[in-house]
Each structure stands twice: as C-alpha cells, then as structure tokens.
Copies of this chain bind each other. A is one copy, B any other.
Amino acid sequence: MKEKELRRTLAVLPIGTVIKLTDLTARQIRYYEEQGLVTPKRNKGNQRMYSLNDVDRLLEIKDYLADGMNIAGIKYVYQQQQADQQAQKQRPVTDDDVRRILHDELLAAGGLDHHDQRASLYHQNPKK
C-alpha cells in the first residue's frame, strides 16, 4: 500500500474533530455506524477513532441523504461497491494493469518526503 493511502486509513480522529470536519452531529455519526455505513476503530478507552477515509465516507453519506436517498439505499450502494471490489480481485492482471502499477510505483518512490531514516510515521524503528 502506498504511503498516501496508509495515511488516509490511519484512525486518528476523535468524534469531536469529525463533527467539525463534516458538520454532522455526534448522534448522526453514531447512527450511521449503527446502520453499518461506517466502522470506526476504537481506542483503548473505547472511544471511536476515525480515519480521513471515514470522514470522506461520512461526507458522501451526507450528500446521498441530501439527494433524497435513504439509508437503505446507501447501504445497498456500498454493498455493491464491495462486491465489485471482490470481483476485481478475481480478475487476472492485464498488460494495462502492469503499466499502471509500474507508473504508480515510480511516483511513490519519488514522492516521499520523510525527514530522515531514523524515525517516521510509517516505518517505526525497533525499540531500543
């Protein structure tokens, strides 16, 4: 997984932050979770921790609802997407895939901005 994606999946945002970022209420956010639309991690104290991807997901949900779709509909959309992804995994790799993957790898290799090798968010050092 590329470092940018990693950063987007890090569950580091408490619900208060998500409230500000999405302009949803805590009640709404927890309700959408109850409905299985988002699944935040929990910290040691059992508090919900969200990733940037979760925030995007919540903004999407907000949009869908504003469009008149109901939660059952949204649930269906996400189930469908997941099914698509599963199917994708079965599909054999084409030449075109190879080219695209190679291209992505090159971008990733050149795009890092770590300050040095000793300590980094994404590659933890062994404890001393």
A residues touching B (Cβ–Cβ < 8 Å)? 7, 12-14, 16-17, 21, 23, 43, 49, 52, 55-56, 59-60, 62-63, 66, 115-116, 118-121, 124
With beta carbons under 8 angstroms apart, the residue of B55, B115, B124 that contacts A56 is B115
Q: Which residues of B contact A118 (CB under 8 A)?
A: 63, 66
Q: Is the CB of A21 within 8 A of B121?
A: yes
With beta carbons under 8 angstroms apart, the residue of B21, B43, B52, B63 that contacts A16 is B43
A56-B121, A62-B119, A118-B66 in contact; A13/B12 too (CB < 8 A)? yes
Q: Which residues of B contact A60 (CB under 8 A)?
A: 115
User: Chain B's nearest CB lies how many Å from the CB of A59?
Assistant: 5
Q: Is the CB of B59 within 8 A of A115?
A: yes
Q: Is the CB of A119 within 8 A of B12?
A: no
